[in-house]
Amino acid sequence: MARGRSWWVGQMSDPSLRIRAFIFPDDYEQVYALWAGAGPGIHLRRSDEPGEIRKKLQRDPDLFMLAELEGQLVGAVLGGYDGRRGFVYHLAIAEEFRKRGIGTALMGALEERLRLKGCIRYYLLVTNDNDGAMRFYESEGWSRMDIQIYAKDLE
């Protein structure tokens, strides 16, 4: 069983679901494999490599959480807060465990922690090819914004 602080999530269809903090480097390989196998929507980049995740954890380690069922990793959410706005970088649920409330539980735990930090609004990006994610987020109360996203690599 993995170590780390855990949170038990109420209102879950499966009472054995455990939400806990990500532990670096212990959990890294398993979470990276979950992200890589999540299907359309999670595009792994340099920012997902171990050194970059280590840097991310120095800022707000409490916003990287894992979901486990009977000790098996079934989901992960990586969020951030810059002091003004929050952000969801990755939410992934293992395919065979989707539609069981795990994504809702992880997002609820993330929202709780963002509120505790004083965050009043947060954002996420969904790729155009990820219809399942769009349906999920809209069912959770998210609204689509009419904006363009730009990116620039610094290295």
Domain region containing 67? 6-139
Determine contact, residues 44/31, Cβ cutoff 8 Å.
no
Percent share of the chain, pLDDT over 90: 84
> Considering the domain boundaries, does residue 13 fall inside one?
yes
Q: Which pLDDT score, from 0 to 100, does residue 2 have?
A: 35
Comparing 18-27, 61-70, 128-137, the range with the smallest average pLDDT is 128-137
- 3-class SS of residue 51: helix
pLDDT category at 155 given cuts 50, 70, 90 is confident
Rounded to an integer, what distance in angstroms lies between the CA atom of residue 7 and that of residue 108?
Answer: 11
| pLDDT above 60 for 65 | yes
**Token digits of residue 114:** 């963002």
| pLDDT above 70 for 33 | yes
Q: CA quadruple 63, 67, 71, 73: dihedral positive or negative?
A: negative
> Considering the domain boundaries, does residue 23 fall inside one?
yes
Q: Which pLDDT score, from 0 to 100, does residue 13 have?
A: 57
- 3-class SS of residue 111: helix
> Considering the domain boundaries, does residue 155 fall inside one?
no
Which residue, among 15, 108, 19, 33, has the nearest Cα to 65 in the 3D structure? 19
- On the CB side of 99, how many CA atoms lie within 13 Å of its CA? 4
Strand partners, 133: none
> Considering the domain boundaries, does residue 21 fall inside one?
yes
Determine contact, residues 78/122, Cβ cutoff 8 Å.
no
Q: CA quadruple 66, 31, 37, 42: dihedral positive or negative?
A: positive
> Considering the domain boundaries, does residue 153 fall inside one?
no
What single-letter DSSP state applies at residue 70?
T
**Token digits of residue 95:** 């395919």
pLDDT category at 6 given cuts 50, 70, 90 is very low
- pTM reported for the whole predicted model: 0.87
Q: What is the mean pLDDT of residues 55-65?
A: 96
Rounded to an integer, what distance in angstroms lies between the CA atom of residue 99 and that of residue 30?
Answer: 21
> Considering the domain boundaries, does residue 93 fall inside one?
yes
Q: Which pLDDT score, from 0 to 100, does residue 131 have?
A: 92
Q: What is the mean pLDDT of residues 8-25?
A: 78
Q: How many domains does the chain have?
A: 1
Give per-residue pLDDT as tens, 94-152: 999 999 999 999 999 999 999 999 999 999 999 888 999 999 999 999 999 999 999 99
> Considering the domain boundaries, does residue 59 fall inside one?
yes
Average pLDDT over the chain reads 91
Q: What is the CATH number of the domain that holds 13?
A: 3.40.630.30
> Considering the domain boundaries, does residue 52 fall inside one?
yes
